[in-house]
Structure 1
Amino acid sequence: MKNAIPWESLRFDADGLIPVVVQDAVSKEVLTLAYMNRTSLEKTAETGETWFWSRSRQELWHKGATSGNTQRVVSLRVDCDGDALVVQVIPNGPACHRETYSCFAGITLESQDNLGEPDRFAILNELESLIAAREAERPEGSYCTYLFEKGVDKILKKVGEEAAEVIIAAKNRSHDELQYEAADLLFHLLVLLREQKLPLDDVLAELKHRR
């Protein structure tokens, strides 16, 4: 990756820094905004994990060096002006120092009524982000926490169980039952995709390719 960095196109500011948007490569959630200088960018390229420059401490810092919440770099992109970066990562735990999945909290700017026809698949995006947050934060008492801590075998068992329940509901010709069980299956499938670090976008792209 080091040799692939387009140094000639990068525009660092007067302090030798460039802003970096860190994004979850799977859920596409924005995790944090940080800064890199040339040295931290080189270390990021060399190690495959994120390194930044702390403006408050005036020093290099390796994300997760003390907390263990490292970020494995999947890709690095430069904007059209060369003065900002997007780094896609696989996070190993929360991105924020407050032990939350993302440093950004959601703010509703407008009511849904003013946005026209709602996205009928928006709930899938919300669920994917929520499941990613649960995996990173592991809140006590969360069902997602239970599944992730039990591991892939437990998750696979639940996917199998819910698939069987969908079959039974369909055989019973019960729309209410099928609706409920199909929702359970979709949820557990999203948990499995997160455990496998496979973006839902890739599954949708496969469907589009087949079409």
Structure 2
Amino acid sequence: MGIKAVIFDLDGTLLDSIQDIADANNQMLSEYDYPLHELSAYVKWIGNGARRLVEASLPPNLRGGDSVPYIDKYQDCYKNNISNKSKIFEGMDRVLDYLTDKNIPMAIITNKPQNLTDIIVKKYFKNWSFKNVIGHSNAFPHKPNPKGALHFAKQINCDPKDILLVGDSVVDIQTAKAANMLPLGVSWGYGKPGAEDRCTVVVDQAQEIIDYIKIN
């Protein structure tokens, strides 16, 4: 088997979390009496970390200023409502089961803050063992910086070219390429993983991830 390990993005790849994220940020905005946003706006903003999402949602005259209080408030709102409506995408449990059965090491690497990532993984993914779960922190910058992906490769002593990175956005594809890993896009998330490079393979169903691993 050519693929010896798999890295997954979290939001939009493993977990359908957009409604809880939107609700939490709208709760933050409502506490400041700022205009709220439709779900479609959050679909555009998600994927580049909490700061980018929060700043995009603020009234135009506040963007570019000190956004830390708003980010902190959003994270508090999200932490308290992190699992109201989120759910694992259909079929992704079977993908994780398959990789577990084949003893293929798995990791999650996301731009979500590490503390929130840990809460979600404990809530939704306790039935599976991941070699590493890397969120945004001082130690690991946002994707597409490949530091987290390369750290995982070193941790399991695996050549990066033998690692598959699965994600729903251009950022994930860029991360895979920066780390010299094999990118695989998924169409059911919030981004357009094939937008930058039409040669990127994009699958439409979870079973296709298993099929892709089998032939690679």
TM-score (norm 2): 0.31
More relative contact order in 1 or in 2 (CA 8 Å, sep 6+)? 2
Q: Which has the larger radius of gyration?
A: 1
